[in-house]
């Protein structure tokens, strides 16, 4: 059937149902891991100045050259839907956190936008779970961030299903010498490069290390390695990161072709990959970016390290590998009331059910009993309480156990006791936002005032 309703934009997706449950689970695990490590949450604007992203990612990066969602506002300012969060978090840090105790620990769970070819686990609107430690340089922070990312992956059910790849990019002066040698090496073998890699070689030779060309992959085995150009200080920093990872029990695999996709990294970089060998095999990654603040216009370098995980790729991996989650939205008790008197009796009972941790739902409108039973089945309701005209007069209900297919007559005053007794206590929901209130006791006359 044709429809005049506009379809969703290609590369975007609606998040609901089972997928949303996995998304909520991922956010819950990440929030818990970040909070217990001293992080607080930050949300940066969806829209940033285009110049911020160009300065941070680099004019030759894929993000800037072909993936940005950019536009002008009514005053002609060049804006962009944020393709990643690190630049925005650094901007927010420089505007708001310079006078705070250092380093600052921030995490985010944010939507991002890149005009890329949509594929499994890769969308034009996508979400990242990430964290940044800004304002201190210490190799233990790099190891700490890696360990936190591993803990998130382990605790969502992916333990043993990923590999950690590790490398060092040194500092800018060391990379300059390395880039010259790398460029000379590949220019002498340009006949083996495709158009993409030739463009990378001209614009940003480091990006050729991320080539998908099989000939180039073979050449990289004998090409110059960044670690051969590191000075003592950078080598020591990298060695300490690895030593701390060993202490933390984090297994890693060194990959000296690893550069990450953005130009602001220095020293440690890493990726978590699924080991499939596919072109898109990364769950996420991160690294140190001590020069990003200067790149975006700050007067001096601010040391920082961070990582981000791709939510969609993680969720789809969890589904594919058969990781199951408890459905906290499952309906424990579905009320079917037939007639106004029944509705008046059930309405307060449904509120009491919620107060006792029972997920309940009312049938609404005036459909038949048959229609309402079909709805209860589709909602996978555990119990159905039926109150008709006669039941309302007697203060009873017909309680149907949808799992066992049995039915019994029960007084309404006994209904909730029966249901609660047969539901796993872990499935009862007693969450209340009022628990977050801080209640201050009023001062008595005997207590001194602030001015006394």
CATH at residue 36:
3.30.930.10
Q: Domain for residue 325, yes or no? A: no
pLDDT of residue 345: 94
pLDDT above 60 (res 204): yes
Confidence of residue 447 (pLDDT cuts 50, 70, 90): low
Question: From CA 304, how far away is CA 300, in angstroms rounded?
Answer: 13
Closest listed residue to residue 174, CA positions, set 228, 223, 221: 228
Q: Are 255 and 379 members of one domain?
A: no
3-state SS, the chain, equals CCCCCCCCCCCCCCCCHHHHHHHHHHHHHHHHHHHCCCCEECCCCCEEEHHHHHHHHCCCCHHHHHHCEEEECCCCCEEEECCCCHHHHHHHHHHHCCCCCCCEEEEEEEEEECCCCCECCECCEEEEEEEEEECCCCHHHHHHHHHHHHHHHHHHHHCCCCEEEEEECCCHHHHHHHHHHHHHHHHCCHHHCCHHHHHHHHHCHHHHHHCCCHHHHHHHCCCCCHHHHCCHHHHHHHHHHHHHHHHHCCCCEECCCCCCCCCCCEEEEEEEECCCCCCCCEEEEEEECCCHHHHCCCCCCCCEEEEEEEHHHHHHHHHHCCCCCCCCCCCCEEEEECCHHHHHHHHHHHHHHHHCCCCEEECCCCCCHHHHHHHHHHCCCCEEEEECHHHHHHCEEEEEECCCCEEEEEEHHHHHHHHHHCCCHHHCCCCCHHHHCCCCCCCCCCCCCCCC
- Identify the top-confidence range among 37-41, 219-223, 278-282, 372-376: 37-41
Q: Which of 266, 291, 320 is the last residue of a domain?
A: 320
pLDDT of residue 115: 94
Q: Are 56 and 86 members of one domain?
A: yes
Mean pLDDT score, 143-166: 97
Mean pLDDT score, 397-408: 95
Q: Are 292 and 341 members of one domain?
A: no
| Phi, psi values for residue 337, rounded to 5° | -115, 130
Q: Domain for residue 385, yes or no? A: yes
Q: Domain for residue 143, yes or no? A: yes
Q: Are 295 and 378 members of one domain?
A: no
Q: Domain for residue 2, yes or no? A: no
- Report the percentage of the chain scoring pLDDT > 90: 73
Mean pLDDT score, 349-372: 91
Q: Which of 270, 294, 320 is the last residue of a domain?
A: 320
Q: Domain for residue 253, yes or no? A: yes
Q: Are 151 and 89 members of one domain?
A: yes
pLDDT above 80 (res 121): no
Q: Domain for residue 178, yes or no? A: no
Total domains present in the chain: 2
pLDDT of residue 277: 63
Q: Are 52 and 140 members of one domain?
A: yes
Mean pLDDT score, 239-250: 98
Mean pLDDT score, 170-194: 90
For 211, half-sphere exposure in the C-beta direction (CA atoms, 13 angstrom radius) is 25
CATH number (domain holding residue 394)? 3.40.50.800
Q: Are 391 and 298 members of one domain?
A: no
Q: Domain for residue 449, yes or no? A: no
pLDDT of residue 303: 97
pLDDT averaged over the chain? Answer: 91
Confidence of residue 446 (pLDDT cuts 50, 70, 90): low
Mean pLDDT score, 53-68: 85
Mean pLDDT score, 316-326: 92
pLDDT of residue 1: 47
Give strand pairing partners of 414: none
C-beta separation of 420 from 430 below 8 A: no
pLDDT of residue 432: 82
Mean pLDDT score, 48-72: 89
Q: Are 416 and 292 members of one domain?
A: no
C-beta separation of 30 from 308 below 8 A: no
pLDDT of residue 449: 53
Q: Are 304 and 338 members of one domain?
A: no
pLDDT above 50 (res 452): no
Q: Are 337 and 306 members of one domain?
A: no
Q: Are 311 and 367 members of one domain?
A: no
pLDDT above 50 (res 319): yes
Domain that holds residue 360: 333-435
pLDDT in tens, 256-294: 888 876 667 899 999 999 977 666 789 999 999 999 999
Give strand pairing partners of 72: 78
Q: Are 118 and 242 members of one domain?
A: yes
Mean pLDDT score, 305-325: 95
Question: Based on C-alpha coordinates, what's the Rg of the chain?
Answer: 29
Q: Which of 257, 289, 320 is the last residue of a domain?
A: 320
pLDDT above 60 (res 111): yes
Q: Domain for residue 116, yes or no? A: yes
pLDDT above 60 (res 156): yes
């Amino acid at each position: 059937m044709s429809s005049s309703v506009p379809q969703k934009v290609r590369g975007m997706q609606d998040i609901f149902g089972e997928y949303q449950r996995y998304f909520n689970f991922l956010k819950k695990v990440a929030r818990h891991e970040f909070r217990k490590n001293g992080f607080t949450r930050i949300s940066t604007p969806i829209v940033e100045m285009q110049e911020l992203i160009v300065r941070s990612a680099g004019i030759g990066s894929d993000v800037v050259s072909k993936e940005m969602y950019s536009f002008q506002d009514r005053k002609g300012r060049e804006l962009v839907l944020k393709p990643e969060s690190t630049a925005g978090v650094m901007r927010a840090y420089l505007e708001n956190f310079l006078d705070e105790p250092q380093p600052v620990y921030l995490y985010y769970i944010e939507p991002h936008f890149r005009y890329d070819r949509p594929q499994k686990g890769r969308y034009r609107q996508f979400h990242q779970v990430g964290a940044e430690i800004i304002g201190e340089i210490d190799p233990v922070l790099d190891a700490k961030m890696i360990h936190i990312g591993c803990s998130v992956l382990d605790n969502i059910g992916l333990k043993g299903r990923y590999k950690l790849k590790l490398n060092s990019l040194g500092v800018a002066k060391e990379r300059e010498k390395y880039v010259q040698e790398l460029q000379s090496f590949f220019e002498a073998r340009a006949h083996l490069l495709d158009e993409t890699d030739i463009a990378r070689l001209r614009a940003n030779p480091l990006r050729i290390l991320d080539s998908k060309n099989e000939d180039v992959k073979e050449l990289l085995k004998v090409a110059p390695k960044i670690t051969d150009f590191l000075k003592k200080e950078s080598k020591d920093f990298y060695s300490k990161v690895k030593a701390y990872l060993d202490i933390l029990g984090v297994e890693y695999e060194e990959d000296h072709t690893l550069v990450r996709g953005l130009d602001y990294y220095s020293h440690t970089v890493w990726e978590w990959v699924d080991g499939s060998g596919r072109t898109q095999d990364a769950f996420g990654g991160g690294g140190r970016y001590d020069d990003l603040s200067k790149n975006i216009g700050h007067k001096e370098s601010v040391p920082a390290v961070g990582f981000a995980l791709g939510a969609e790729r993680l969720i789809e991996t969890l589904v594919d590998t058969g990781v199951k989650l408890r459905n906290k939205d499952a309906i424990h008790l579905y009320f079917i009331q037939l007639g106004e008197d029944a509705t008046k009796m059930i309405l307060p009972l449904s509120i009491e059910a919620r107060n006792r941790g029972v997920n309940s739902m009312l049938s609404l409108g005036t459909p038949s009993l048959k229609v309402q039973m079909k709805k209860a089945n589709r909602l996978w309701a555990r119990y159905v309480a039926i109150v008709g005209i006669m039941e309302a007069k007697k203060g009873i209900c017909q309680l149907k156990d949808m799992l066992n297919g049995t039915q019994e007559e029960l007084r309404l005053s006994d209904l909730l006791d029966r249901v609660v007794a047969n539901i796993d206590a872990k499935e009862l929901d007693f969450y209340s936002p009022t628990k977050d209130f801080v209640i201050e006791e009023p001062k008595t006359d005997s207590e001194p005032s602030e001015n006394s």
